[in-house]
Structure 1
Amino acid sequence: MTSAPKTVGVIGGGRMGAGIAQAFAAAGSVVTVVESGTEAAAAALERIGAGLGRAEERGHLGESAERVIRRVSVVDTVGDLPADTELVVEAVPEDAALKARVLKAAEEAVGGTTVLATNTSSLSVADLAAVLDRPDRFLGMHFFNPVPASALVEIVVAPATAAHTVEAALEWTKALGKHDVVVKDSPGFASSRLGLALGLEAIRMVEEGVAAPEAIDDAMRLGYKHPMGPLRLTDLVGLDVRLAIAEYLHATLGERFAPPRLLREKVARGELGHKTGQGFYTW
């Protein structure tokens, strides 16, 4: 029988971090979220509590949301993570320097047996591992948005990742009730690389006047049974996030991932998708 880690640290209390914290707390883990500042900490707890409330309303929790949220606390700094934390998941923005900095701080704060994981959707896990003293206990655990409802966790294995670290991550993924896919560390992994290729081509089609966003999305949704079209998904992910990933894959994998002009223009105008109310759709 699989079991969730007894103690989990989540660095970052934004939408992804809050979702990861909610998923582990609902599975029975005691969760410590790192989020600096009183307002940010309160917002993180509010996100987790609201998510648990929705899960309870839908009958997806085995206990009350009120009881689950008691297993969640927020601290100001990575150095405040409990030393006996079994798993630490980094969920800060897609900035390699920032991720490396908080992962190094986490390694210094916790014990030598703690597993460290990055939630990056595209950055090199091996490059992030280079700053660590124990790269064998580090890997990628790429969760998908919204975390509580998503069925998938992409396990990204770097050259230095030990087999027992992968085994632990697979057990914890199953304990969350999610399905794993194991991939070798490579730019964009499997999910972001394929998803972005489709999304960028859809944006080029809009740019060239081939079809309206709704028509392109309907073609993939109805013709290929995708749950949603690539442009609507881009709006939900965030056009700025997609642009950052495209720029990284363009630099590492070549011209086929060059960001379309239309994507750059929309981001420059602040049309970032669902979070700003305007992207390829009006929300």
Structure 2
Amino acid sequence: MTFSTLTVETTDTHTLVRLNRPEIRNAVDKAMVDDLHAVCDELEDDPRVLVITGCEVEGRNSPKGIFASGADITQLRDRRRANALAGISSRIIDRIATLAMPVIAAVDDLAQAVGEVTGHPERICGLHFFNPVPASKLIEVIIADASARELRELAPQWVTALGKTPVVVKNRPGFASSRLGLALGLEAMRMVEEGVASAEDIDNAMTLGYKHPVGPLALTDIVGLDVRLGIAEYLSEELGDRFTPPQILRDKVAVGELGHKSGKGFYDYN
């Protein structure tokens, strides 16, 4: 069987599914959901361990990594959030969670709480990989309130076995790293908006003064301003006004200044 959004490899013991929409960092859309349902059809007839991950992605001036970056931001904007999550995510996640054989998922989900759209949180934890994956030592292990005790104990061991360092956080919107990173990025945008300092000087303050490897505005250009806007809107809805997107971010996205991928964001790459 051929798929438009996935690559699928099958052995006697497992099925390896790679999400394959590198042009938008493997964001999940309806076509991908339909393909995943087709995979479930096969696994329900012939059970095997399911391993789900993402393909390699290499955008303009951005690091190579493995991504599965949540629901398609465009679809989340075009439809009400609850409806979009229900239609795009919940039914397929629920079906995958109830397959007869174990499911191993490596998902780079930047903000959405793990298990939010599934009825089986005891069987689910999140692994938030940082990019570039080969160089980064950090993996956030996201544990749901109802996660089984065995899963809580095993998940950090899986990360250690990969040669990475686990950071265990509760299943809350934004986790730890994305929540803190976005808060810093939004405040940096407000400083540019208010004329406090230039984007370059703000970034230099963080790289030289706090030893960050990249400044918050340069990082926003790497991640994508549209992606950061979608995450900010989600966290604002879940956690309050402190994550309300600055107008400068909305304006830049509206005119297509999305960062590296468009050639201009807070910096000009043309």
- Same fold per TM (> 0.5)? yes
| 3-state DSSP of counterpart to 1:225 | coil
**C-alpha deviation, 1:272, in angstroms:** 1.0
Q: Where does residue 33 of structure 1 map in the other structure? A: 17
Q: Where does residue 57 of structure 2 map in the other structure? A: none
Q: Where does residue 97 of structure 2 map in the other structure? A: 107
Q: Where does residue 49 of structure 2 map in the other structure? A: 85
**C-alpha deviation, 1:89, in angstroms:** 4.9
| 3-state DSSP of counterpart to 2:150 | helix
Q: Where does residue 154 of structure 1 map in the other structure? A: 140
Q: 1:119 aligns with which of 108, 122, 132?
A: 108
Instruction: Label 1:140 to 1:204 Cα distance change in 2 as closer, same or farther (>3 A).
Output: same
CA distance in 1, matches of 2:205, 2:52: 40
**Structure 2 residues without counterparts, runs of 5 or longer:** 26-34, 55-67, 73-84
Checking the alignment, whether the CA contact within 8 Å between 1:94 and 1:120 is kept in structure 2 is no
Instruction: Label 1:123 to 1:242 Cα distance change in 2 as closer, same or farther (>3 A).
Output: same
CA distance in 2, matches of 1:152, 1:197: 19
Match status 1:258 vs 2:244: yes
**C-alpha deviation, 1:277, in angstroms:** 1.5
Q: Which amino acid aligns with 1:32?
A: L
Match status 1:231 vs 2:217: yes
Checking the alignment, whether the CA contact within 8 Å between 1:92 and 1:99 is kept in structure 2 is no
**C-alpha deviation, 1:242, in angstroms:** 0.7
User: Over residues 180-212 of structure 1, what are the superposed CA-to-partner deviations in whole Å (9 max), with x where a residue is unaligned?
Assistant: 100011121111111011000000011111111
Checking the alignment, whether the CA contact within 8 Å between 1:118 and 1:141 is kept in structure 2 is yes
Q: Where does residue 117 of structure 2 map in the other structure? A: 128
CA distance in 2, matches of 1:201, 1:247: 15
Q: What is the TM-score when the length of structure 2 is the normalising length? A: 0.71
Q: Where does residue 67 of structure 1 map in the other structure? A: none
Instruction: Label 1:99 to 1:148 Cα distance change in 2 as closer, same or farther (>3 A).
Output: farther
CA distance in 2, matches of 1:77, 1:85: 14
CA distance in 1, matches of 2:207, 2:143: 31
**C-alpha deviation, 1:105, in angstroms:** 3.6
Q: 1:168 aligns with which of 113, 130, 154?
A: 154
**C-alpha deviation, 1:237, in angstroms:** 0.9
**C-alpha deviation, 1:218, in angstroms:** 0.3
Instruction: Label 1:31 to 1:114 Cα distance change in 2 as closer, same or farther (>3 A).
Output: closer
| 3-state DSSP of counterpart to 1:156 | strand
**C-alpha deviation, 1:264, in angstroms:** 0.4
Q: Which amino acid aligns with 2:109?
A: T
- For residues 1-283 of structure 1, the aligned pairs below 5 Å read 32-35=16-19, 76-80=35-39, 83-85=47-49, 87-89=51-53, 91-94=68-71, 96-97=85-86, 98-108=88-98, 110-116=99-105, 118-130=107-119, 132=120, 135-283=121-269
Regions of 4+ moved over 6 Å: none
Q: How many residues align?
A: 221
Q: CA RMSD in A?
A: 3.0
More displaced 10-residue stretch of structure 1: 198-207 or 90-99: 90-99
Q: What is the TM-score when the length of structure 1 is the normalising length? A: 0.68
| 3-state DSSP of counterpart to 1:228 | coil
More displaced 10-residue stretch of structure 1: 183-192 or 86-95: 86-95
| 3-state DSSP of counterpart to 1:264 | helix
Instruction: Label 1:112 to 1:31 Cα distance change in 2 as closer, same or farther (>3 A).
Output: closer
**Structure 1 residues without counterparts, runs of 5 or longer:** 1-11, 22-28, 48-75
Q: Which amino acid aligns with 1:107?
A: A
Checking the alignment, whether the CA contact within 8 Å between 2:37 and 2:92 is kept in structure 1 is yes
| 3-state DSSP of counterpart to 2:167 | strand
CA distance in 2, matches of 1:105, 1:272: 35
| 3-state DSSP of counterpart to 1:125 | coil
Q: Which amino acid aligns with 2:222?
A: L
Instruction: Label 1:99 to 1:149 Cα distance change in 2 as closer, same or farther (>3 A).
Output: farther
